[in-house]
Amino acid sequence: MKISSQENENRKLNLTPLIDVVFLLLIFFMVSTTFEKQAKLKIELPEASANPEVSQTQDLVISISQKGVFFVNNNELVNAKRQTLKSALQKVTEDARDMPVIIRADANAAHKYVVMAMDVLGNMGFESVSMATTQSSDDK
Residue 139 falls inside a structural domain: no
Number of domains in the chain: 1
Residue 21 falls inside a structural domain: no
Q: Does 9 fall in a domain?
A: no
Domain that holds residue 73: 60-131
42 found inside a domain: no
Let me know if 133 is exposed, middle or buried by CB neighbors in 10 A (0-12, 13-18, 19+): middle
**Confidence band, pLDDT 50/70/90 cuts, at residue 21:** very high
| pLDDT tens-place string over residues 57-90 | 577 888 888 888 888 888 888 888 889 888 988 8
Is 25 part of any domain? no
- In a domain? residue 30: no
Q: pLDDT above 90 covers what percent of the chain? A: 10
CATH number at residue 94: 3.30.420.270
Q: Identify the pLDDT of residue 26.
A: 94
**Rounded Cα gap, residues 119 and 89, in angstroms:** 13
pLDDT at 92 over 50: yes
What pLDDT was estimated at residue 44?
Answer: 46
Residue 136 lies in a domain: no
